[in-house]
Amino acid sequence: MTTLTNANLVLPDGVHDGSLRIEDGRIAAVSPASPPPGDDIVDLGGRHVVPGFVDIHVHGGAGASYQAGRDDEVRKGVAFHRAAGTTTTMASLVTGDRRDLADAVSRLADLAADGLIAGIHLEGPYLSPARCGAHDPDLLRPPDRDEFRRLVALGRGHVRMITLAPELPGALDLVRDAVDAGVIAAVGHTEAPGETARAAFEAGARVATHLFNAMRPLHHREGGPIAAALGDPRVTVELINDGVHVEPAVARLAFAAAGTARVALITDAMAAAGMGDGDYRLGVMDVEVRAGRATLAGGGSIAGSTITMADGFRRAVTHVGLPIEKAAEAASLTPARALGIDSRTGSLEPGKDADLLVLGPDLTVERVMKNGHWL
């Protein structure tokens, strides 16, 4: 057994001095008491311990892309994000043609079955051409229920989420198909008015993809999908907290409206994360990164981010002003709850996987534990 002592444990109800006992890859106890004799003791010197981050929307990192589902690329990206504190990650795919998308889903299903990723997120291809962002508009298509069912079958239970524009013909039927298949339907890349967005949530959609970005903006006479998502207590809203996609004042509005129980920090990171400025690809689109900002080559839409979850978490404390336990909830427990895996990860509670991070005084990640093992 291993016991982490002299720690500031960031628990759902606040920060507590105490110790964390780990046995067989799980959290055995959270206690203010001294550890029993015989344990392997790790004295953390008063450092904060937070649950491992859960990223439900990420496309790659360290120069690697998840788009083709290649084993080496996915492992490289996952290893990079794990080292930065993301102990549970999805693999997100941008819009692709039918064959490429099917091949990627099939390959990623194998990696999900091995436990490398928590599942597959289809960001598209059923998106609004008016809000396509960094997706190739020539590859967008109307909702195709037969194609979706084939992708779900190829995913063998590992397609966990699909982002679609609810105003497209047949989109609400596809939302219902997703719910029936156990796939989370997310509203995003949409020009939908509020009435249509609310209809999607009534049909079972439960996530708003990167709130504020690639969707009809909030207007005082037509709230659109933003007001619909923030006003629905059933809906989790994603937030890219990099200071590029959403400024801190707007992030504070989202947290004030929905609370950390419904705002899930995400990275939307692409291959450039961890790599510095240069030229990259996102799906079939050319992307240039300058001063850490990723945009389509030649100027245009923001093309994902270059941050890690640790960056977004730290900014939530230092720039948005959240208490550390609330930032941890948004980075860990809320996305875990959205995926339906909060019974085993997302918080430092007995019985859950020992996925955790040790933070330095400046909230940078010093050590990462996954399933009870230090990385």
What are the C-alpha distances in Å from 35 to residues 17, 181, 219? 13, 46, 56
What are the C-alpha distances in Å from 59 to residues 11, 77, 198, 295? 29, 9, 28, 15
Tokens 């900014």, located at residue = 315
Between strands 184-187 and 159-164, the pairing is parallel
Catalytic residue among 55, 268, 342, 355: 268
Is there a contact between 336 and 266 (Cβ–Cβ < 8 Å)? no
**Cα separation, 235 vs 230, whole angstroms:** 7
Indicate if 268 belongs to the active site.
yes
* Helix, strand, or coil (residue 364): coil
Q: Which of 259, 210, 207, 213 is nearest to 235 (CA)?
A: 207
* Dihedral, CA of residue 117, residue 97, residue 60 and residue 63, to nearest 10: 140
Annotated active-site positions, please?
268
